């Protein structure tokens, strides 16, 4: 380990990491404080991030950096008797899990101060989805969050400037320096934010597959283990689920269309894979907070809240608390399904036919996400505007027997037509074949349990 010299210069710090040395907690503090105060130049931050990307960090360094970033701004505190929980996903196509999960947990008596992000690249952001609902306001002060948790039990909000300011700086520079895919940097970014939320328990949904950041299970497991270790050492009971991200989650991808599907899930009639993911993730959180639950009984408790309308009531109350008019909230949460009375519908809907009779063997989530991104559903640079009405409804299910010519997907778009290239990408995204080649797989592959925070 390098010396504990308080007067070390930033170039010296960068050189230490560049040369593969382990940084001491004091050296990491100097770096993070320099990031927060603006004393360190962007070029120096970029160089340090690249040195970390190249040389990696030990668990001790990762923990020290996570702790410093977490403490770079305000941290939230709650009444002791509250069970404050949250979930974080590393990003998936069609991943609208947070929308039904937060109110289902609130219906179980938990408090859920969910701080979410916006979509970047091919994956959508929870905040973008919610902003398809007229009036929904993701910007809430800490005081407002406290009030909503007191009154409703859950809220889904954007990050305020006073929480983890160092992460905002580091994240933007990581994006510009190709240093996003580093296990210690991802760990620091995710866990610092969750640590600042003052949680009792956290479940992480770490995705692997062709539309995930990590393509294979082994690399995703390494990230999950790093996240679980850092979370627990910071005092948050943290577990992780490893889930597949090859085909879209549920039957819809986009922003407004995903809100419709989340509402269906909250009415107890969501697609099986979405409901499964919501109940598994919620079940793990309930179990972590309350040892009287088994994983199975906790999962059933979440499923019950989706079936009996209690989660839906919490969602309606959350919509109202976050600025949606009582009329719109009550109509969206009523028995009716004409959600586009309240959300903008795209000017055009184009359906594509199945090319051959057979069973649905594959739907490529990545291909679908790329087409929707180009049509305006996603952004390339942070801050870019997106079109909430662009999306896709997938009209067939994996393993389903289909006839030649029937529609398999409905694209919602505002451009006059899809391009030749977009048609061709979509046509290749669907694979039809013989039913005996279809192997159903569960979306969740593994769970990594909270480990003992005192273990080294
Ligand atoms: N989400 C975050 O909050 N931080 C990250 O580094 C990634 C996703 I990748």
* pLDDT score, position 453: 46
The residue whose CA is least distant from atom 9 of ligand 1 is 186
* pLDDT score, position 73: 95
pLDDT level of residue 157 (50, 70, 90 thresholds)? very high
The residue whose CA is least distant from atom 6 of ligand 1 is 186
The atom of ligand 1 lying closest to the CA of 189 is 4
Choosing from 67, 83, 87, 88, the catalytic residue is: 88
User: 347-437, what's its fold?
Assistant: Aldehyde Oxidoreductase; domain 3 (3.90.1170)
CA-based nearest residue to 343, from 327, 328, 357, 355: 328
Least confidently predicted of 34-48, 150-164, 231-245: 150-164
pLDDT level of residue 6 (50, 70, 90 thresholds)? low
Indicate the top mutation candidate among 114, 123, 124, 171 to test ligand 1's pocket, ranked by most ligand atoms within 8 A of CB.
Answer: 171
* pLDDT score, position 293: 96
Query: Average pLDDT in the 140-167 region?
Result: 94
CA-based nearest residue to 90, from 156, 157, 189, 192: 189
CA of 137 to the centre of ligand 1 (A): 22
Query: Average pLDDT in the 10-39 region?
Result: 98
Q: Where are the beta strands (DSSP E) in 192-254?
A: 201-208, 237-244, 252-254
pLDDT at 289 over 50: yes
* pLDDT score, position 145: 96
Q: Is 19 a catalytic residue?
A: no
Query: Average pLDDT in the 303-320 region?
Result: 98
pLDDT tens digits along 240-252: 999 999 999 999 9
In the chain, what percentage of residues exceed pLDDT 70? Answer: 97
* pLDDT score, position 156: 97
* pLDDT score, position 350: 98
pLDDT at 455 over 60: no
The residue whose CA is least distant from atom 8 of ligand 1 is 90
Q: Is 95 a catalytic residue?
A: no
CA angle 122, 123, 125 (to 5 degrees): 135
The residue whose CA is least distant from atom 5 of ligand 1 is 186
The atom of ligand 1 lying closest to the CA of 190 is 3
In the chain, what percentage of residues exceed pLDDT 90? Answer: 91
pLDDT level of residue 7 (50, 70, 90 thresholds)? confident
The residue whose CA is least distant from atom 1 of ligand 1 is 190
* pLDDT score, position 379: 84
pLDDT tens digits along 185-205: 999 999 999 999 999 999 999
CB-facing half-sphere around the CA of 46: CA atoms within 13 A:
9
**Sign for the pseudo-dihedral over CA of 207, 210, 212, 217:** positive
Indicate the top mutation candidate among 90, 115, 178 to test ligand 1's pocket, ranked by most ligand atoms within 8 A of CB.
Answer: 90
CA of 208 to the centre of ligand 1 (A): 15
The atom of ligand 1 lying closest to the CA of 181 is 9
CA of 324 to the centre of ligand 1 (A): 29
* pLDDT score, position 454: 41
The residue whose CA is least distant from atom 7 of ligand 1 is 186
Choosing from 128, 167, 273, 387, the catalytic residue is: 167
The atom of ligand 1 lying closest to the CA of 174 is 6
CA of 145 to the centre of ligand 1 (A): 22
CA angle 81, 317, 312 (to 5 degrees): 95
* pLDDT score, position 383: 79
Q: Is 174 a catalytic residue?
A: yes
Cα–Cα distance measured from residue 179 to residue 183, given in angstroms and rounded to the nearest whole number: 10
DSSP 346: P
- For 85-335+444-448, give the CATH class: alpha beta
The atom of ligand 1 lying closest to the CA of 91 is 8
* pLDDT score, position 34: 98
The atom of ligand 1 lying closest to the CA of 90 is 8
* pLDDT score, position 160: 83
CA angle 70, 75, 81 (to 5 degrees): 125
Q: Is 111 a catalytic residue?
A: no
Query: Average pLDDT in the 386-415 region?
Result: 97
Choosing from 24, 98, 189, 243, the catalytic residue is: 189
Q: What is the mean pLDDT of the chain?
A: 95
pLDDT tens digits along 326-384: 999 999 999 989 999 999 999 999 999 999 999 999 999 999 999 999 999 988 777 78
Query: Average pLDDT in the 175-186 region?
Result: 93
* pLDDT score, position 144: 96
pLDDT at 410 over 90: yes
Q: Is 246 a catalytic residue?
A: no
The atom of ligand 1 lying closest to the CA of 193 is 3
pLDDT at 82 over 60: yes
Cα–Cα distance measured from residue 373 to residue 384, given in angstroms and rounded to the nearest whole number: 12
pTM of the predicted model as reported, rounded to 2 decimal places = 0.94
CA of 202 to the centre of ligand 1 (A): 15
Query: What residue spans define the domains of the chain?
Result: 10-55, 85-335+444-448, 347-437
Indicate the top mutation candidate among 184, 186, 223, 226 to test ligand 1's pocket, ranked by most ligand atoms within 8 A of CB.
Answer: 186
Cα–Cα distance measured from residue 21 to residue 227, given in angstroms and rounded to the nearest whole number: 22
* pLDDT score, position 124: 72
* pLDDT score, position 120: 67
Query: Average pLDDT in the 396-402 region?
Result: 98
* pLDDT score, position 117: 83
CA of 88 to the centre of ligand 1 (A): 10
Q: Which residues' Cβ are closer than 6 Å to ligand 1?
A: 180, 186, 189-190, 213
Cβ within 8 Å of residue 179, ≥6 positions away:
46, 49, 50, 52, 53, 173, 185
Cα–Cα distance measured from residue 148 to residue 269, given in angstroms and rounded to the nearest whole number: 27
pLDDT at 1 over 90: no
């Amino acid at each position: 380990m390098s010396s504990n010299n308080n007067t070390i210069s930033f170039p010296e710090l960068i050189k230490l990491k560049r040369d593969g040395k382990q940084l001491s907690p004091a050296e990491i503090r100097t770096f993070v404080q320099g990031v927060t105060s603006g004393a360190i130049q962007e070029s120096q931050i970029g160089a340090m991030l690249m040195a970390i990307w190249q040389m990696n960090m030990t668990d001790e360094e990762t923990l020290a950096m996570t702790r410093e970033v977490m403490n770079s701004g305000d941290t939230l505190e709650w009444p002791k008797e509250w069970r404050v929980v949250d979930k974080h996903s590393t990003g998936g196509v069609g991943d609208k899990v947070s929308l039904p999960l937060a109110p289902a947990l609130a219906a179980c008596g938990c408090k859920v101060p969910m701080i979410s992000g916006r979509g970047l690249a091919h994956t959508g952001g929870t905040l973008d989805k919610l902003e398809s609902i007229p009036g929904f306001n993701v910007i809430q002060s800490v005081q407002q969050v406290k009030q909503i948790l007191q009154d409703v039990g859950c809220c889904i909000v954007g990050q305020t400037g006073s929480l983890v300011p160092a992460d905002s700086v580091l994240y933007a520079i990581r994006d510009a320096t190709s240093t996003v895919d580093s296990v210690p940097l991802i760990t620091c970014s995710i866990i610092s934010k969750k640590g600042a939320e003052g949680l009792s328990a956290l479940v992480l949904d770490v995705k692997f597959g062709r539309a995930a950041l990590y393509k294979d299970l082994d690399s995703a497991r390494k990230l999950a283990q790093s996240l679980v270790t850092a979370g627990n050492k910071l005092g948050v009971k943290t577990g992780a689920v490893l889930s597949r991200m090859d085909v879209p989650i549920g039957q819809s991808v986009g922003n407004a269309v995903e809100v419709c599907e989340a509402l269906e899930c909250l009415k107890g009639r969501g697609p099986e894979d979405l409901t499964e993911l919501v109940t598994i993730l919620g079940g793990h959180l309930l179990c972590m907070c309350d040892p009287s639950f088994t994983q199975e009984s906790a999962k059933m408790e979440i499923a019950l809240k989706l079936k009996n309308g209690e989660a839906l009531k919490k969602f309606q109350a959350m919509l109202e608390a976050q600025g949606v008019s009582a009329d719109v909230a009550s109509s969206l949460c009523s028995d009716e399904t004409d959600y586009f009375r309240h959300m903008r519908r795209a000017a055009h809907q184009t359906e594509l036919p199945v090319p051959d009779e057979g069973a649905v063997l594959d739907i490529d989530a990545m291909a679908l996400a790329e087409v929707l991104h180009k049509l305006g559903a996603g952004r390339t640079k942070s801050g870019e505007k997106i079109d909430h009405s662009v999306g896709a409804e997938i009209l067939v299910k994996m393993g389903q027997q289909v006839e030649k010519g029937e529609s398999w997907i409905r694209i919602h778009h505002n451009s006059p037509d899809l391009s030749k290239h977009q048609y061709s990408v979509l046509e290749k995204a669907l694979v039809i074949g013989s039913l005996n080649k279809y192997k159903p797989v569960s979306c969740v592959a593994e769970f990594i349990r909270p480990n003992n925070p005192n273990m080294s």
